[in-house]
Amino acid sequence: MRSDSVKKGIERAPNRSLFYAMGYTKEELERPLVGVVSAKSEIVPGHMHLDKIAEAVKAGVRMAGGTPVEVPAIGVCDGIAMGHVGMKYSLPSRELIADSVETMTMAHAFDGLVLIPNCDKIVPGMIMAAVRMNIPAVVCSGGPMMSGLVGGVETSLSKMFEAVGARKANLIDDEGLLEYEENVCPGCGSCSGMYTANSMNCLSEAVGIALPGNGTIPAVHSGRIQLAKHAGMAIMNLIEKDIKARDIINEKSLRNALTCDMALGCSSNSVLHLLAIANEAGVELNLEIFNEFSAKVPNLCHLAPAGPTHMHDLNNAGGLQAVLSELDKKGLIDKSLITATGKTVGENIAGAHVKDYNTIRPIDEPYSETGGIAIMWGNIAQDGCVVKRSAVAPEMLQHSGPARVFDSEDEAIEAIYNGKIVDGDVVVIRYEGPKGGPGMREMLNPTSALAGMKLDKTVALITDGRFSGASRGASIGHVCPEAAEGGNIGLLQEGDIIDIDIPNAKINAQVSDEEFAKRRESYQAPAPKVTQGWLVRYMRNVDAASKGAVMK
């Protein structure tokens, strides 16, 4: 066992003495040591209850003959960090999380890991570490929040942000805004739509590193505690059989995850995170492969913000295993792959079926024959950009309009709130990429303001930054090369006509190569937005969004 290096032999007597100082017994040290990495905190609704999940995981580890060792992890609440400097830290925190999990695991020689994240960057950060170290690992997330109720209609955080836009446009009053504020988020769990957190929790299940139910069992259900106990037992089985993270996460299983990504209509952030996980696994994954899957995998789900259903509806409809079963009807899933259960995908989905075709469409009657995510290329995105196609209104799949150019999210949101954006405009927000931001801020405020003002079906938004999974509309992000790296998005001028063609994967400005070259001659980059703190180090070392915004 790996842990023998900290607890066996005469020379490890000092190490054992420190274990005894914490109350561990000789009997416990004779068992495998399992790191239980909990991101519990009192600042993230999705994490406020993770101490309960950790206790259940530890019970499962002990039942199966192991010794659990709980250690912490950080986590940023994207909703609370939204709209101010805090959002610059969200995506970079993924790298901190991966590095800290690696540090705690390697420093203390854990035999395996149960990873307890729930929200946005914490899930991929933990998975990146497990794959990097290639030791037995299971993900056991905290589960989704229940939807709220406003005016008798189920709702969630995306509607809260849109309500701000509606209030700014005087479509609702202060009392109406307060009703949303007090009711959209009824308790613990990851926000209840198919936002980034729930996207990654479902994809953890799809790629096989999490047990069935991980993506959809609500945080407040007893099934979530039972799942955590089973995760504790599962890690002991993986340790015994020496099934490591890369045995589960590999080229084939990542293709299963891509398939589910398209079927579910996951957050566009899933592109960043799957690229980063693939990078740690040594698997070649690029934007062209995403479009390959988008072309052949039908979109079966329209959860919020794309539609009216929420995560508890998906759970009631049979969860991700039902989605996998439906996809298997067209042979779109590799059922031979090993998973964290110690069984294959095929064995896991045996007997699974869709219980509600209003939430999960039949494979022969999808929302669209193409997937929920689309990649586009053109003269302002030579290395690609990303859109959550399933959340775009049909009339906005193709659009041409004048560029309204802003060098930060803050400038753009001020213009939107002050009524300066009109039907037909294409809002361009630049210098918000991994380097330019730095940190590639998530921009739910501008997209939600447009939606709340009823402009989401007439106005497009393009950025080298990124969008929340709660964003809807023609919100096109991850433009590469970013402005701070000399991309043509940094050369756009007010009034340039932008042509968007999502079905044909094209995005271009009506600007000639000669004109771009002329503009480049007089171009002057703005001063860096950050000059101190660890984001300066991040800015120097982060790679392009098209490569997952990983650290070089």
CA 365 to CA 510: how far, in whole Å? Answer: 38
Token output for 463: 């950025």
542 strand-pairing partners: 551
Please tell me which residue in 204, 468, 475, 546 is annotated as part of the active site: 468
Tallying the residues shown for the chain, one arrives at 552
370: helix, coil or strand?
A: coil
CA 536 to CA 538: how far, in whole Å? Answer: 5
Question: Which positions ≥6 away from 285 have C-beta within 8 Å?
Answer: 254, 274, 275, 278, 279
Question: Which positions ≥6 away from 250 have C-beta within 8 Å?
Answer: 281, 283, 337
Q: Where does residue 328 rank: exposed (0-12), middle (13-18), buried (19+ CB within 10 A)?
A: middle
For helices 157-168 and 444-452, angle between their N-to-C axes, nearest 10 degrees: 60
| Burial profile 342-374: b = 16 or more Cβ within 10 angstroms, e = fewer | eebbeebbeebebeeeebbbebeebbbebbbbb
Token output for 201: 């929790």
Token output for 441: 């801020």
Among this protein's residues, is 468 annotated catalytic?
Answer: yes
Task: Determine the straight-line distance between the first and last CA of the chain, rounded to whole angstroms.
Answer: 32
Cα 113 → chain centroid: 21
Cα 545 → chain centroid: 14
User: Active-site positions?
Assistant: 468
